[in-house]
Amino acid sequence: MTEFFKTEYNSPIGKLTLVSDGKSLTGLYIEGQKYFNCPKNANQKDDLTIFCNAKNWLNDYFKGKNPSVSLPLAPFGSEFGKEIWKILQKIPYGKTTTYGEIAEQIAKKRGLKKMSAQAVGGAVGHNPISIIIPCHRVLGKNGALTGYNGGIDKKITLLKLEGTLQ
């Protein structure tokens, strides 16, 4: 059985809970977010290397920098979810995309005529590593600020921090 660890980080958008299997980051949850999957048996351990590196990444991010450090990530989820989260990781800092554009990418990759933007939205909404896997950079049709599992106000704050919104 995998042992999990957790720590907390106080950010400008509230308390964040970071979760790790000891090597990789497996979760980064915003306090009060809709889908909070921190394992109940996770032990508090603030000095793990992955946590120190993730906190440094977050420090830079919240100072308005584009962190260049690549962290080992191991999000738990379905194969479809993991496919979507890999696409999210390719959205550049300060840029956005739409659920529909991601659906088109998946459809093309799979040789399908189309893919449901709602299915993509479900996978984006269940992203277990908020901010670092930038689900906040995904917008609705015509750039609408829809859905964010941590709250739309936090999505707006993150997009403003990155210079995407005024």
Enzyme catalytic residues: 135
Judged on CB neighbours under 10 Å (0-12, 13-18, 19+), 101 is: middle
Candidates 2, 3, 45, 1; CA nearest to 17 is 45
Q: In sequence order, what are the residues at sequence separation of 6 or more whose Cβ sits closer than 8 angstroms to the Cβ of residue 43? A: 3, 4, 5, 6
Q: Are 20 and 48 in contact (CB under 8 A)?
A: yes
Residue 47 structure tokens: 């000095």
Q: Alpha-carbon distance 147 to 6, whole Å?
A: 26
Which uninterrupted H or E stretch holds 89? none
